[in-house]
Amino acid sequence: MIKLSNLALVGLGTVAMLAFSGAGFADESIVTANPANGKNIFENGKGDSVPACATCHGDKAMGNDDMGSPRLANIGYVYIVKQLNNFAEDKRTDLTMQQMNGIAKGLTEQDMRDLASYEDTFPLDNPERSDLSQLKTNGAAVGETFKGKLLVRYGSKDKVSACQTCHGFDGRGADPVFPKIGHQKYVYLVNQLTHWRDSSRTNDPDMMMNKIAKNLTDDDIHNAAAYLSQASDSTAGDGMEIDNETVLKNVKIVK
């Protein structure tokens, strides 16, 4: 159970919960989530306007490069709720699959919370990484992982800060503020960085990602996406897996 007046209990989430989640969080003193309802919507959809999320995002919520759909599993509860709200309010436009705005409009605020909570219940092991060799064979421009590693971990002097400054080591996430981008699908990462750069996506607080992406070349985007899509979740000496459930652990789960 979490009361918004006590958000200091989750550190940086004090501001992030209000800034990154939908208006519904500010309207209620107690946030609840029902993963069972989220599972039902994810697997079966809801009514005529909401198809099963698994159709595009996979039964394990790992995303699909061929469709350009992102991984949703364990990327962060607050982030997912915010994106669904933004789609529903047309603050973010689905430029790839051309479906999410209509789908999100068919969800209630509670549905969004329930889906986000369910998508954070998938096992962290055995991620389905993008097959970069196959993508290259299919004609996609694929970057160099070793060059992407430099951008992700160290940034580029006088150009961009390291991705891990906000998103955690190797993009493992910094819940509740910044989503997990490690193991995200390559095609989705490339698309979103490109959309941030050309400002066709602008739903980031303070335009943070737009400002960063404007300094990236096509090669930078391909390289960073290549490395992030393959990055390890756990390596000796640099930390362990992050579950990205900082806020969800303080949410009242109902059945």
Which of 190, 172, 182, 165 is closest to 228 using CA atoms?
182
Whole-number pLDDT of residue 239: 60
Q: Which residue has the higher pLDDT, 17 or 169?
A: 169
Domains of the chain: 4-125+245-253 (1.10.760.10), 132-230 (1.10.760.10)
244 contacts: CB under 8 Å, gap ≥ 6: 74, 75, 76, 77, 120, 173, 175, 179, 180
Confidence of residue 108 (pLDDT cuts 50, 70, 90): very high
- pLDDT per residue over 229-244, tens digit each? 999 876 656 666 677 6
pLDDT at 117 exceeding the cut of 60: yes
Average pLDDT, the chain: 86
- Cα angle: 130, vertex 136, 138; to 5 degrees: 100
Q: Quickly state the pLDDT bin for 205 (edges 50, 70, 90).
A: confident
Between CA 178 and CA 170, with CA 67 as vertex, the angle to 5 degrees is: 30
Supply the pLDDT for residue 238.
Answer: 62
76/175 Cα distance (integer angstroms): 6
Q: What is the mean predicted confidence (pLDDT) over 105-116?
A: 97
Burial of residue 158 (number of CB atoms within 10 Å: 0-12, 13-18, 19+): exposed
Indicate whether 111 pLDDT > 80: yes
Strand partners, 115: none
* Position with higher pLDDT, 25 vs 196: 196
Angle between helices 109-119 and 35-44 (to 10 degrees): 90
Q: Is the pLDDT of residue 92 over 60?
A: yes
Among the residue ranges 25-29, 100-104, 244-248, the one predicted with the least confidence is: 25-29
pLDDT score recorded for residue 7: 29
Distance from C-alpha of 198 to C-alpha of 210, rounded to nearest angstrom: 8
**Of 3-17, 41-55, 109-123, 177-191, the least confident:** 3-17
Q: What average pLDDT score do residues 108-132 get?
A: 93
pLDDT recorded at residue 176: 85
* 127 upstream amide cis, omega within 30 of 0: no
Does pLDDT of 6 surpass 60?
no
Q: Report the pLDDT value the prediction gives residue 153, as an integer from 0 to 100.
A: 96
| pLDDT score at 162 | 97
Task: Give dist(CA 15, CA 128) in Å, integer.
Answer: 33
Q: How confident is the model at residue 246 (pLDDT cuts 50, 70, 90)?
A: low
pLDDT of 17-66, one tens digit each?
333 444 334 334 467 899 999 999 999 999 999 999 999 999 999 999 99
Percent of the chain with pLDDT over 90: 71
Q: Is 75 helix (H, G, I), strand (E, B) or coil?
A: coil
| SS3 letters across 134-159 | HHHHCCCCCCCHHHHHHHHHHCECCC
Say if residue 212's pLDDT is above 90: yes
pLDDT at 175: 84
